[in-house]
Structure 1
Amino acid sequence: MPIISFCNQKGGCGKTVGAVHLAAWLHRKRKKIHFVDADPQSSGATWMSLLSSQIPTSKITDANELIERLPELAEQFQFVVVDGAANTSESTRAILCLSDVSVTPIQPTGLDLHSASEAIRLIKSAQKITGGGRPRAAVFLSRATKGTRLKEEALSLLSQIPDVKLLKTAIHSKQSIADCFTQECTIWEMKKAEDSAQEFEQLCKEILGLLK
């Protein structure tokens, strides 16, 4: 079954937040999920261990083990969600070659937009290796600020990347999102966070739609 990965060599871009929320959203839809944390920092696996949902989770950082385990997990579960490492290591390349969809969160800053080019390059390299257009590549704007010129400029730039789908949903910077980890929950359990909860709901729907 599908493997959906979140990859970007730039740390702090919202990669783990996106991966954890997609896994939690799929679990809320009563799907059989396995979460794989391929980042040596293990933030995603730690967050998962704090949630009441108890989604099966593995920490796999070695490229060879990822090549061996990910296809096995894909056979056992309806969805495998992978939180990739914040680097361009061999493990990232292995994840991309095995993913059906790879999602890259990007913050609307000059440095992040510049760094994203390397993540896109790796995805396109994986597509050449697989020879079948996999993984399908998508980007979304993360930690954006509403009404800013920087946000609009970033969206315009991202929309021009060939063969990479810019998701319509942007995740805006909110303290409630940052507080989810310490509150041991996801945005859907946070009080007074309806706007952010709706954004993540729409983002997850868009990502799932990439599989069709």
Structure 2
Amino acid sequence: MIYAFLNQKGGVGKTTLSIHTAAELSGRGRRVLLIDADPQGSSLAWSNYREKANFTVVGMPKATIHKEIDLLAQDYDDVVIDGPPRVTELARSIILSADIVVIPVQPSPMDVWAAAETVDLVREAQVYKPEIKCCLVINRKITNTAIGRDVRDALAELEVPVLKNDIGQRVAFAESAASGSTVLNQKLSKAAREIIKFVNELRRLK
């Protein structure tokens, strides 16, 4: 499966979720390739500091990914693509490469608007590749807040599946990134349990 993490707004957690999805799939015995397609190169930078290389990370911020994905993916069970912000030819190429486009959304009106732009891009691509699936995941949610509850209602208007398992706003994600690790090193932590449930739900979409 090829999972692409995209949103036209930066800072929504695409890189964090890409890395953790790749790490969790790898931990299940899957052969995983993480493609850093964001010119900023955050996933690639993280890989330079990581503790152990249990999956492959390559940098490829090129608008030809959809033409090369079959060759890139041939030795792997799963490919995870960490996409760039903004509407670009690169984003369109990533969508055409994907089986599932995952749109992380923070609980804020600006994120919902940006998600709508990404959904429109996916619908454009589905004209050429109807089998592309798309879903939304609420990321960096602060529990017991009105905006955390209301964002799900706002996203429903986009008529795209919203995953049931949200990812909370947790310091553990930033701390693990700084040390080249993931929250999955602490399997019993709340952050790790959220990632595991998220990946379980994501895999059921295939």
TM-score between the two structures when normalised by the length of structure 1: 0.92
Q: Unaligned 5+ residue runs, structure 1? A: none
Render the CA deviation track for 1:14-36: whole Å, top value 9, x for unaligned.
11001000000011001111110
**1:151 has 2:148 as partner:** yes
Q: Any idea what SS the aligned residue of 2:81 has?
A: strand
| Aligned residue number for residue 95 of structure 1 | 94
**1:206 has 2:201 as partner:** yes
| Aligned residue number for residue 129 of structure 1 | 128
Runs of 4+ aligned residues of structure 1 deviating over 4 Å after TM superposition are none
- From 171, 174, 180, the equivalent of 1:178 is 174
Equivalents in 2 of 1:124, 1:25: separation in Å? 29
Render the CA deviation track for 1:31-66: whole Å, top value 9, x for unaligned.
1111100000100111123223412111111112x1
| Aligned residue number for residue 60 of structure 2 | 60
Equivalents in 1 of 2:40, 2:168: separation in Å? 24
Render the CA deviation track for 1:173-207: whole Å, top value 9, x for unaligned.
0111121111221011259x711111111001111
Q: Are the counterparts in 1 of residues 141 and 166 from structure 2 also a CA contact under 8 Å?
A: yes
Q: Unaligned 5+ residue runs, structure 2? A: none
Q: Which moved more, 1:112-121 or 1:43-52?
A: 43-52
Which one-letter code corresponds to 2:203 in the other structure? Answer: L
Q: Any idea what SS the aligned residue of 2:177 has?
A: coil
Q: Are the counterparts in 1 of residues 116 and 158 from structure 2 also a CA contact under 8 Å?
A: no
Q: Which moved more, 1:50-59 or 1:119-128?
A: 50-59
Render the CA deviation track for 1:107-130: whole Å, top value 9, x for unaligned.
001111111111111111111121
| Aligned residue number for residue 69 of structure 2 | 70
| Aligned-residue RMSD, C-alpha | 1.4
**1:106 has 2:84 as partner:** no
Q: Are the counterparts in 1 of residues 34 and 80 from structure 2 also a CA contact under 8 Å?
A: yes
Equivalents in 1 of 2:35, 2:25: separation in Å? 14
Which one-letter code corresponds to 1:133 in the other structure? Answer: E
Equivalents in 2 of 1:154, 1:110: separation in Å? 8
Which one-letter code corresponds to 1:112 in the other structure? Answer: D
The percentage of counterpart residues that share the same residue type is 27
TM-score between the two structures when normalised by the length of structure 2: 0.95
Q: Which moved more, 1:91-100 or 1:153-162?
A: 153-162
Q: Any idea what SS the aligned residue of 2:3 has?
A: strand
Equivalents in 2 of 1:26, 1:53: separation in Å? 15
